[in-house]
Amino acid sequence: MGTKLIIDTDPGVDDAFAIALAALSEDVDLLGVTTVFGNVPLSATTRNALRLLALCGRGDVPVAAGAERPLVYPHPHRGTYAHGADGLSGRAEVLPQPGRELEPVDAVSLLVSLLEAAEEPVTIAPIGPLTNIALLLAAHPGIREKIDRLVIMGGGLDHGNTTAAAEFNIWSDPEAARRVLVEEHVPCVLVPMDLTHRCAVDADWLAKLAASGSVGAALNGLTPDYVEYYKKALGFAGIAMHDAVAVAEAIRPGILRTEELPVEVECSFGPSRGATVVDRRRPALRAKMNQDAPAVAVAVDTDLDGLRGFVLDRIAGGQS
Ligand code: BDR
Ligand code: CA
């Protein structure tokens, strides 16, 4: 039944949209959700994930909590400046109570058991810091063959959002990101903020979401703090639904156009810590300089209106 998917997440307003997109898509077999620190502390991201699944009527989906901090160094600060104090614009308590208990195992253990039980390779959509995924691949190298693709929201080609150079998910745990993107040989699609910003939706889109039904209205209700932040970040009245763009690719492979490009992650402590260095020189020049590193499929373009319509239709109950 459809794409087998696991979401690793730190909800987060755009994570909320991404979870709803997957949870409400009839052609997706959402096997589980694992949580990680990030936009808010782990206790809050986990509560938010459980409540968001309850909102979508998906109490059948198991949820396990993972890393509460980065692999090596402390997390300098949370993403509350964009997502509000509780990660959902101060509205988490408005969501329904969780439809099930948290799994009694950690995120890596749940990932391993779901992957081992799956009869076909599974897509994982990491849409927060990459700590859980780095731990999974480090501790269970043989599990790679059970992973179809990692469709990762993260990185920036031209600039960052948390710092001038670094995007939040990669900046939150650069060592984990480097392990996953550079050192592991798992097929990866990287969905950077350059493209997710271009996919931003406006007030009209949000009004249609709010009018689409009870889930859409509840999701729109989670956006006030996020909308305020994105007025400044984008320079116009809209929001970037970053994580939903990555999940769209996870459930509709090819909805984003990708290019195979070498990616490095800056792990030094200078002003570029957490930057993704994506080599966009012509391949012939890279090869001549003997600098052709392993490539990642980097999402560079899409039919912007088509993508926005796809997310809206799916959350509204249409199955385009
Ligand atoms: C990413 O950072 C988080 O704040 C969002 O949820 C998204 O995953 C965007 O940079
Ligand atoms: Ca996120």
Any ligand 1 atom below 6 A from CB of 194: no
What confidence score (pLDDT) does residue 11 get?
98
Q: DSSP letter at 282?
A: -
pLDDT band at 1 (very low <50, low <70, confident <90, very high): low
Which single residue is written with the structure tokens 């031209």?
Answer: 158
Return the pLDDT at 289.
83
Section 145-170 average pLDDT: 98
The confidence band for 84, taking pLDDT boundaries of 50, 70 and 90, is very high
| Residue whose CB lies within 8 A of the most ligand 1 atoms, among 8, 9, 15, for a mutation test | 15
pLDDT of residue 37: 98
> Cβ(193) to ligand 1 under 6 A?
yes
Q: Of the residues 131, 198, 242, which should be mutated to test ligand 1's pocket, given the most ligand atoms within 8 Å of the CB?
A: 242
Question: Which of 36, 86, 168, 199 has most ligand 1 atoms within 8 Å of CB, for mutation?
Answer: 168
The string of DSSP codes covering 135-187 is HHHHH-GGGGGGEEEEEEE---SS--SSSSS--HHHHH-HHHHHIIIII--S-
- Residue 207's CB: how many other CB atoms inside 10 A? 11
Looking up residue 199, the CATH number of its domain turns out to be 3.90.245.10
Residue 58 domain boundaries: 3-317
Residue type, 103: E
Q: What is the mean pLDDT of residues 85-110?
A: 96
Is residue 242 annotated as a catalytic residue, yes or no? Answer: yes
Assess whether the C-beta atom of 15 lies below 6 angstroms from ligand 1.
Answer: yes
Ligand 1 center from residue 225 Cα (angstroms) = 14
N-to-C CA span, the chain: 17
320 pLDDT above the threshold of 70: no
pLDDT tens digit string along 212-221?
999 999 999 9
Per the rule left: phi > 0, alpha: psi between -120 and 50, beta: everything else, 286 is: alpha
Give the nearest ligand 1 atom to 172 CA.
2
Give the tokens for residue 228: 């305020």
pLDDT at 263: 96
User: How far is CA 99 from each of CA 32, 102, 308, rounded to the nearest angstrom?
Assistant: 14, 10, 29
Return d(Cα 35, Cα 50) in angstroms, integer: 10
Q: What is the pLDDT of residue 292?
A: 72
Question: Has this prediction a pTM greater than 0.95?
Answer: yes
- pLDDT one-digit tens code per residue, 241-283: 999 999 999 999 999 999 999 999 999 999 999 999 999 999 8
Per-residue pLDDT reduced to its tens digit, 28-65? 999 999 999 999 999 999 999 999 999 999 999 999 99
Average of per-residue pLDDT across 111-130: 98
Number of domains forming the structure of the chain: 1
From 76, 91, 52, select the one nearest 129 (Cα to Cα).
Answer: 76
Element (H, E) at 261: strand 256-265
Distance 278 CA to ligand 1 centre (A): 19
Tell me if 136 CB under 6 Å of ligand 1.
no
For residues 266 and 300, what is the distance between their CA atoms, to the nearest angstrom?
Answer: 21
Residue 234 pLDDT greater than 90, yes or no: yes
The residue from 75, 83, 185, 242 that is catalytic is: 242
Closest-lying ligand 1 atom to the alpha carbon of residue 83: 4
Pair 34, 9: CB distance under 8 Å? yes
Residue 177 CA to ligand 1 center (angstroms) comes to: 14
3-state secondary structure of 41: coil
Q: Determine the pLDDT at residue 291.
A: 76
Q: How far is the CA of 11 from the centre of ligand 2 (A)?
A: 6
